[in-house]
Amino acid sequence: MTATAPARPARRRSRATVTSVLGELLLTAGVLVLLFVAWQMWIGDVIIGAQNNERGTELTERWAAEPVPEPPPVIADGPAPVYEPPVLEHPDDAEVFATMRVPRFGADYNVPIAGGTTRARTLDRIGIGVYTQSKMPGEIGNFSVAGHRTTWGRPFHEIDRLRLNDAIVVETEVGWYTYRFRTLEYVRPDETEVLLDVPQMPEMQTGERFITLTACSPMYSLAERIVAYGVFEGFQPRAEGPPASLTEGVS
């Protein structure tokens, strides 16, 4: 008789359990969360920031193509005339009226500015927002604005890179308002004195024109605010073309 090989036991198929399925779902969810965070913190910021700059550039090009507004009165003669800066009406909530251009942040930096500082209507969707009590560009007092330092295009991401006398230029339909950076300060979120007509000096009136930029600090935190202050240098009407402050002093 021929010997027969013993039968091999059949392999048991592994069966999915509730625990293993749940583990795979949690792993997948974790990967998706990480991808979303990466999108929000890096990839999305780059895309949204580029879109904001593109919208600002479109405004610049539109204003350049429109009829040139009449220049304001000259208040001092010299090698270069000094103009009385025109004061615009305060914008409505989410109404875009200007762009901010900061050579230190790059030649393509051109972010729209709109009324209000709510995230839903202005900061997340447009870029930079004007505080309700703020003065307007060129007006005596404090032109105060807010912007994200992280996420949603992060227009003030590099606010701590500003150097003494760096230009902060506000472009509008009528021309360019140039401010010069002076100093940085870190404050608590409830220290609203930074928005006063003379920052941090209640009831003081000096007749000067300031700009104040505010953003959250440190990075990815709401614990404090980083505040950048500047002083007004001058106004250049659109009839004279872009000011030298847009390109000078930054390598």
Q: pLDDT for 159-214, tens place per residue?
A: 999 999 999 999 999 999 999 999 999 999 999 999 999 999 998 889 999 999 99
pLDDT tens per residue across span 118-150? 999 999 999 999 999 999 999 999 999 999 998
Closest CA relative to residue 134, chosen from 213, 64, 17, 190: 213
Q: What are the chain's domains?
A: 42-246 (2.40.260.10)
Reference 215, options 139, 167, 152; nearest CA is 152
8-state DSSP, 93: B
d(CA 220, CA 146): 16
Phi-psi region of 118 (alpha: psi -120 to 50; beta: other; left: phi over 0): beta
How far is CA 107 from its chain centroid?
A: 15
Phi, psi of 246 (to 5 degrees): -75, -20
Pull the structure tokens for residue 96.
């875009």
* C-beta neighbour count of 225 within 10 angstroms: 20
